[in-house]
Amino acid sequence: MNEAENIRAQIEAQLKELPAQPGVYLMKDETGMIIYVGKAKSLRSRVRSYFRKNDQTYKTKMLVKYIADFDYILTDTEVEAYILEANLIKKHQPKFNIRLKDDKSYPYIKVTKNVDFPRVFKTRLVKNDGARYFGPFADVDAIYKTLDIIKDIFKLRSCKKELKADDPEDRPCLNFHIDKCLGPCIGEVSKADYHELIDQVCLFLSGRQEELTAEVKQKMGEAAAERNYEKAARFRDALQAFEKLSESQKVMTDKNIDQDVAALVQGPDDRACVQLLLVRNGRLIGQEYFILEGTSEERDSTTMASFLQQYYEQAAGIPDELLLNVELDTEQLLAERLAYIKGKKVKIIYPQIGDKKKMLAMAAKNASQNLKKEDIRSQYEEQRTSGAVEKLGQILAIDPAPYHIEGFDISNIQGTDSVASMVVFKNGRPSKQDYRRFKIKTVEGPDDFSSMKEVVERRYARLLREDRKLPDLILIDGGKGQLNAAYEILKLLGIEDLPIIGLAKKEEEIFRPNQREPITLPHHLPTLQLLQRVRDEAHRFAVSYHRKLRSRRLTHSMLDEIPGVGPERRNSLLQHFGSLAKIREAQIWQLKQVDGISGKTARKIYDYLRKHMRAY
């Protein structure tokens, strides 16, 4: 039985064991990479359909062609499967799913309400830490403009210090002296007054301008009655700023409700755009657009449902009404999920006439324009990267040009948790689904040269064994030493003609085997910048993996040292809380909720982590 027949037989055996229950299924290729994530009311019927239907789309046929294995996760309900599917798509970014482009990079505005003197700033990480988050925003400039307005109106602190209300500092910073900050660090504003301002900021960010204006007027009157004229003047200035802001916001409806207006437009290629209008209290307070990839063969209903699923699992606010230009097959699932997040029913409407239809038309018009803008950007980027690849081929005398580049880097700290990364660039762009990472198995201590030999041998011996295509160029992060180590392996494998270079970071010199003098290129050249992107991405990917392994090792080591916590309880704690940091933040009553953790053990964990955590 050949390899293909063996894979098919294995899949057929797995299909027979599938349960007829809700869940999420994960399709994998021959390398074990997840290439598709889907949800199902019945895993048995849904997963089997991929291997039984004859009238499949081209995209589905290609997916099935690549499937070498699959896994699944059972859930109690279809709604749970819906949530899990969104999270797994966000985590793995499978190439056959509809994906929010650069989903992980969308920023938020964070308000740290759980401290004495909160901060308001941009962040790309959303945590369950007691803070309030507003977003996500596709337009970073919009965030900075919003933050500038907040600073001008409320004069909040911008420093990162941990300020305590009962421990004022001796001197304020420059911002206090130029009237850009109220001076909470020196006790010029009380904790209570500062939190009043923060509540107003949250109203402001929620688009509640009318409520905010009424509240500020009341506070201004109270301050004036108490003859606190300086405070009253601050509220007066804020009111004037709100009036100007309200004048710039388009009135969409006279209803006092929150609405999200989402219009989908499919592009001529494999991309679509969803334009989102954010209407709060009848006023348009902002708009964002989101590019989705992998949409060309999907129905509009599927594309819109996929966007809404991914967007609202990370959005910081849920509207009262959701206006759509595409009817959803999964409307009931989405409605249940939105109602659960918001705490009350959310209307999903498909307007056909009136003002709501006009809002959707405006959103669709903007979506079309943004698709054209993205196409222009893509064409320019394509020309720039293609030109850099072709020029690189000329410089290195490689024919054909290196359209497929694989870059390697090693990461360790004093030889511990040694790992390697391999990143892949195709036509000058990252191909993240092809990235690989390796634990170093045969090298003891901090020996980057031997580690590089190991990983290069493992990578290319496998490609040769499986008769798979070799890259056009290999890039090693480092100078002559690392390059020569890798080149030795290529010679042993009989592929010494495979183009390989090293890029040394200090002088950005390009080294080639058997050539003493390096190539130096001007730093402004796109060709060198392309090599730097590959090298830096390999470094980033290696360091992130190393940190993950080191953190996991330290976490296990720390928990194993706690009296009464063995491997089983350690795993239960990590499964329940997700990380050592969350375990450390937990109170005793929260620790007791974990399976197998008694009150006595919870107290030991609580005391031990607070006593010893600083060492880590």
As a whole-number percent, the residues of the chain with pLDDT over 90 amount to 21
Per-residue pLDDT at 560 exceeds 70: no
Query: What distance separates the 2 farthest-apart alpha carbons in the chain?
Result: 91
Least confident of 285-294, 426-435, 555-564: 555-564
Quick one: average pLDDT of 453-461?
Answer: 93
User: Contact, 272 vs 265, CB < 8 A?
Assistant: yes
**Quick one: how far is CA 488 from the chain centroid?**
39
Containing 62, the helix (H) or strand (E) segment is: helix 58-66
User: Contact, 550 vs 417, CB < 8 A?
Assistant: yes
410 lies in some domain? yes
The reply to whether omega before 522 is within 30° of 0 (cis) is: no
CA distance 489 to 501: 14
Please tell me the predicted confidence (pLDDT) of residue 106: 65
197 lies in some domain? yes
Per-residue pLDDT at 550 exceeds 70: no
Same domain, 81 and 112: no
388 lies in some domain? no
Q: With both helix axes pointing from N to C terminus, report the angle between 300-312 and 78-92 in degrees, rounded to the nearest 10.
A: 80
Same domain, 279 and 182: no
- Give me the CATH number covering residue 508: 3.30.420.340
Same domain, 83 and 219: no
Q: Quick one: how many helices (H) and strands (E) in the chain?
A: 19, 21
pLDDT digits (tens, 9 = 90+) for 122-178: 887 777 777 888 776 766 666 777 787 777 778 888 888 888 888 888 888 888 888
User: Contact, 471 vs 404, CB < 8 A?
Assistant: yes
Last residue of a domain, one of 548, 574, 597: 548
291 lies in some domain? yes
Same domain, 212 and 124: yes
Question: Which DSSP category does 105 fall into?
Answer: G
Strand pairing report for 23-28 and 250-251: unpaired
* Residue 58 exposure: Cα atoms within 13 Å on the Cβ side: 4
Same domain, 507 and 572: no
Quick one: average pLDDT of 600-613?
Answer: 77
386 lies in some domain? no
Please tell me the predicted confidence (pLDDT) of residue 491: 94
Same domain, 73 and 143: no
Q: 584 lies in which domain range?
A: 561-615
CA distance 427 to 402: 8
Burial bucket for residue 35 (CB in 10 Å: 0-12, 13-18, 19+): buried
pLDDT digits (tens, 9 = 90+) for 91-129: 788 888 887 765 445 678 889 888 899 999 988 777 777
449 lies in some domain? yes
pLDDT digits (tens, 9 = 90+) for 314-370: 776 788 999 999 999 889 999 998 998 888 999 999 999 888 898 899 889 988 988
Burial bucket for residue 419 (CB in 10 Å: 0-12, 13-18, 19+): buried
pLDDT digits (tens, 9 = 90+) for 576-606: 777 777 787 788 888 888 888 888 888 888 8
Per-residue pLDDT at 462 exceeds 60: yes
356 lies in some domain? yes
Same domain, 357 and 410: no
CA distance 569 to 214: 53
379 lies in some domain? no
Same domain, 450 and 582: no
CA distance 266 to 232: 52
Task: Give residue 158's identity as a one-letter amino acid code.
Answer: S
**Number of domains comprising the chain:** 5
Burial bucket for residue 153 (CB in 10 Å: 0-12, 13-18, 19+): buried
Tell me the three state secondary structure of residue 460: helix
- Give me the CATH number covering residue 13: 3.40.1440.10
Provide the token pair at 599.
Answer: 């009150």
Same domain, 133 and 191: yes
Quick one: average pLDDT of 373-395?
Answer: 80
Q: Mean pLDDT: which of 120-124, 379-383, 482-486, 556-560 is highest?
A: 482-486
116: closest CA among 171, 189, 175?
189
Q: Mean pLDDT: which of 234-238, 436-440, 546-550, 560-564 is highest?
A: 436-440
**Quick one: how far is CA 608 from the chain centroid?**
33
Quick one: average pLDDT of 175-201?
Answer: 88
Please tell me the predicted confidence (pLDDT) of residue 245: 52
Please tell me the predicted confidence (pLDDT) of residue 88: 86
Last residue of a domain, one of 202, 225, 250: 250
Quick one: average pLDDT of 212-227?
Answer: 80
Least confident of 403-407, 413-417, 433-437: 413-417
Place of tokens 């005391």: 607
Please tell me the predicted confidence (pLDDT) of residue 287: 76
Q: Which residues contact 243 (CB under 8 A, 6 or more apart)?
A: 213
Same domain, 74 and 112: no
Please tell me the predicted confidence (pLDDT) of residue 163: 86
Same domain, 269 and 246: no
Same domain, 578 and 492: no
Last residue of a domain, one of 250, 279, 304: 250
Measure CA of the first residue to CA of the last residue in the chain; give whole Å: 52
316: closest CA among 379, 258, 375, 238?
258
